[in-house]
Amino acid sequence: MNAVMSKPEGSMWSDDQWQAIMRSGNDILVAAAAGSGKTAVLVERIIKKVINEEAGFSVDRLLVATFTKAAAAEMRQRIREALERELEKAPDREHLRRQLAMLGRASITTLHSFCMEVIRRYYQLIPLDPGFRILNEHEADLLRQDVLEELFEEKYGDAEHGGEFLRLADWFSGERSDDALYQLVQRLYDFSRSHPWPDEWLRDTAAAFSLKDTAALGATPWVKSILADARLALAGAASLLEQAKEAASAPGGPAAYMSTLEDDLQLVHALSDALHSTPWEELYAVFQQGVFGKLKAVKKSEVLPELQERVKNLRDLVKKIVTELKTSLFGRTAEQFLEELHASAPVMEELVDTVIAFAERYRHAKASKSTVDFNDLEHYCLQILRHEASTPGHTQPSDAALEYQSQFDEVLLDEYQDTNSVQEEIVRLISREGPGNRFMVGDVKQSIVRP
């Protein structure tokens, strides 16, 4: 990791923000609360890189990915304005003129647009008609409905020989229609599509309902994803506490809170360490025993109200994060977990079989019309970037992915908390390994559930 240049006197950036802007040499995740200027930090990082000719960066060798076209357009405009300001100061700097000229073709885009670019560039590597079009939402809904009706009709016809589908329908369908089961199959299908290996994830999920003992729970893919989400949440909580300590120790800050904040940070680190070293069946007790202390009283006349309020608000966010982990992810004992799984195993196996059958038929129905839906873009892109020898346990970059690794000196991702596992895998495959060249910013207060 390279040494960070000292922050200029009078800089508008906090110490943490300056570190995020200037640090390089490895993968970096900036996790902070909403409204803390994360996106501004990302944009400033880009600007600092491209205006510094000695750094050797060029705007056309960066991939900047966000989730809306408006955000991408705003980033491009802010970079353009910064370059123009610098050029006004030094009109003879050809480097700045080159950066402005290349900005129009720079890869500042949405993830879906990037996936489309990959597919158009390497369409010959996937089983997709190059003249494909994307179904609109209404068309996709109608096609799904047709596929489901045909599938369910066949399932009911075969139910006399098995009966498990009838039990599945009894569990989830209403008295007069299968609408609820239709919706469940589609929700599970959609959720599986946020995983790089959807069919394998579905089968592993079904198998997890038949585990023999609690010790095996920790090896299941969905428990692994729970642990990964918990680690990310706690990393964000630790970052918030560091910000709270900075405010508490500032002139006029509630310094009396420091000892409690140190205890809070120790608790968060202990919980994070437990996620790495404690068996799943023991984590329930670990999290239930984690308790926050009370802040010491301070005299209003001795502190600035805005600093006191900031510390309290940051600490409340941390307490909320930990409380949600305790109730939603670690709210039952491992034995209770396993008992519930066993009772549901046969029906879950039938549900997964139904979802996989639906996925295959839906894929064929789309292919027959030379169409794709929105989520297909990510999976076709991933298929191009993933080496054909890859397995769920070991993914290797394809030649196409290696070309992108060579093309991009840095991959920057905004709103990281909104990425699913497929998008994360795409970003990983086009990024360089060890020490890494990814820069990601995300809101620790909210994160989608990763399968």
**What separation in angstroms does the CA of 324 have from each of 34, 81, 282, 286, 319?**
18, 42, 18, 14, 9
Of 336, 329, 321, 228, residue with least CA distance to 283: 329
Other CB atoms closer than 10 Å to residue 416's CB: what's the count?
A: 22
The burial class, CB within 10 Å (0-12 / 13-18 / 19+), for 9 is exposed
Indicate the annotated binding residues.
32-39
Percent of residues in the chain assigned helix, strand, coil, to nearest 5: 65, 5, 25
At residue 14, the 3 state secondary structure works out as coil
Contact (Cβ atoms closer than 8 angstroms) between residue 73 and residue 419: no
Indicate the annotated binding residues for ATP.
32-39
What number of helices (H) and strands (E) belong to the chain? Answer: 17, 7
Of 214, 261, 267, residue with least CA distance to 240: 261
- Give the integer Cα–Cα distance in Å for 217 and 334: 8
At residue 413, the 3 state secondary structure works out as strand
- Give the integer Cα–Cα distance in Å for 223 and 236: 20
Contact (Cβ atoms closer than 8 angstroms) between residue 412 and residue 383: no
Tell me the two tokens of residue 54.
Answer: 């000695």
- Give the integer Cα–Cα distance in Å for 170 and 168: 5
